[in-house]
Amino acid sequence: MSMESKIKRALVSVSNKTGIENFARALTQMGIEILSTGGTYAAIQKAGVAVKEVSEHTGFPEMMDGRVKTLHPMIHGGILALREEPSHTGAMETHGIEGIDLVVVNLYPFESTVARAEVTRAEAIEQIDIGGPSMVRSAAKNHRHVGIVTDPEDYGRVLDEIQKHEGTLSNELRRELACKAFALTARYDAAISRWMFEQESAEGLADSTFAPSFATAGIKTLDLRYGENPHQQAAFYRTSGIDEPSVASADVLNGKALSYNNLVDLDAAHALAKEFDEPFVAVTKHNNPCGAASAEAIEDALEAAWSGDPLSAFGSVLAFTRPVNLACADFLVSGNRFVEAIIAPSFDEDAFDLLTGKPKWGKSVRLLACGEYHPSARQVRDIELKKLTGGFLLQERDLRVSSAADLKCVTKLAATEDQVESMLFAEKISKHVKSNAIVLAKGKRVLGVGAGQMSRVDAVRMAIHKAGDEIQGAVLASDAFFPFPDGVETAIEAGVEAILEPGGSVRDDEVIAACDERGATMVFTGERHFRH
């Protein structure tokens, strides 16, 4: 048999039955015999399509509640046989094995099953597909002779090719489908491995927070024009198993194609917004917040956030914790303002019409609706991964939040209630600023941010410069301790009256003394929030 032999027999066994009746009908109309199992067999038969049960084909009944049905030499021999190898074709003749030229399989819904809060371990285990991945891998391995279809989206292409190539598939499509099939089984096994380790960890049976072997996988959802720079290619992949509102799951309602930098900034802005339950707006530029504010009304939060650094806010990315209303849209399109993208729970109809109908904004601004969210929506199991050359790092997300009870006043002058509230607000912002991070605030509004500086005093100077004349009476939050008094001295001399930092420096006494000498207050949190 040659590699171009016509498809005579297809094995169809799918969990996701989208379009399967019409696909099976089209195959039979092309003279292709269909083998099937269980629910797929019943669905195809009910649709009036000729189909043969696998148990009839193998001469062996399904058993053990369907756990054993396709794990049989008549199935895997028919899939794996090399059609040009005499010893293989001889074995087929000797044992009466008929070739299977097309395998149409998708897998039990393991990930959606374990995502249910009430799922039991036994239910989850039963959704670990065995026969499906075995057939997928067998067919993908032997893709020179066998087509493997794992995605209902490919049914149309496969039918077109069979017609175009007079009953077979091109080598190019077989290879493409095989690659997609192995990606599916890799993703499936990665999800199972991760879930099983999480179960062990939750029951206190794991030796570490992290498994000895870690695998992750995603599905490509976007080919990007380029990466951070035009000479770098890039794509966006979505992982599964996490249903937290996110950039990955948001609906893109309007705008030009999302870029690599848009996605990074949107994720950063949204991560900051998830710190807040109240009306809040984050203005993000180059992966750092340049403005942020909370208020009673979302339009007031937007105006206050924008005022933190109006120059940097032009061309920024925004994240809202409330729907974008007409007042917000009117503020954004008025004056010389423009943003690259906005992510929000939703957009009021009149706000959407204004943003998308205004010249300069129109088709350009990217609008993403992610649905309602709160800090409680953040999922601890969605750990952070950072790629290094030759490896990667894993860590838990920094979801710690300080309260007034966590603060330890270390100066002679105690902080007022208003200062405490403002410092706690600023600390949440500092968690999302590149280290070294300094955030200046008044009330619940950011005045200036110092980000990514190699020395903390330089970060202080940058934040002071951004704050301008408004700095008098401001509070300061630092993501880590001050290693020398110079940072707090510079801040207090500029007008800062209260400082929050984790503490822990060998020079804490000198730093505290610098505050006392200048009549400022300082509180320690005991928690560092580096973000590199």
Around 370, how many Cα atoms within 13 Å sit in the side-chain half-sphere?
27
Around 438, how many Cα atoms within 13 Å sit in the side-chain half-sphere?
30
412 and 516 Cβ atoms separated by less than 8 Å: yes
**Taking the C-alpha atoms of 29, 33, 38 and 40 in order, what is their torsion angle to the nearest 10 degrees?**
-30
Residue whose structure tokens are 């903390």: 456
Angstrom distance (rounded) from CA 401 to CA 293: 17
Would you list the DSSP string of 180-213? HHHHHHHHHHHHHHHHHHHHHHHTT--SSSS-SS
Residue 400: strand, helix, or coil? coil
Kindly report whether the peptide bond that precedes residue 436 is cis, defined as omega within 30 degrees of 0. Answer: yes
Token pair listed for 32? 């292709």
Q: Where are the beta strands (DSSP E) in 213-331?
A: 219-224, 234-238, 251-254, 280-285, 288-294, 316-320
Angstrom distance (rounded) from CA 484 to CA 223: 47
Phi, psi of 398 (to 5 degrees): -85, 90
| Residues classed as catalytic | 141, 286
Q: Where are the beta strands (DSSP E) in 280-402?
A: 280-285, 288-294, 316-320, 339-344, 366-369, 384-388, 391-395
Tell me which amino acid residue 307 is: S
β-pairing, 251-254 vs 219-224, is: unpaired
Angstrom distance (rounded) from CA 323 to CA 110: 34
Neighbours of 152 (CB within 10 A): 16
**Tell me, what DSSP letter sits at residue 280?**
E
289 and 266 Cβ atoms separated by less than 8 Å: no
Host H or E run for residue 175: helix 171-202
- Residues shown for the chain: 532
Tell me which amino acid residue 420 is: V
Tell me which amino acid residue 344 is: A
392-409 in b/e burial notation, b at 16+ Cβ within 10 A? eeeeeeeeeebeeeebee
Angstrom distance (rounded) from CA 162 to CA 10: 12
Neighbours of 204 (CB within 10 A): 6
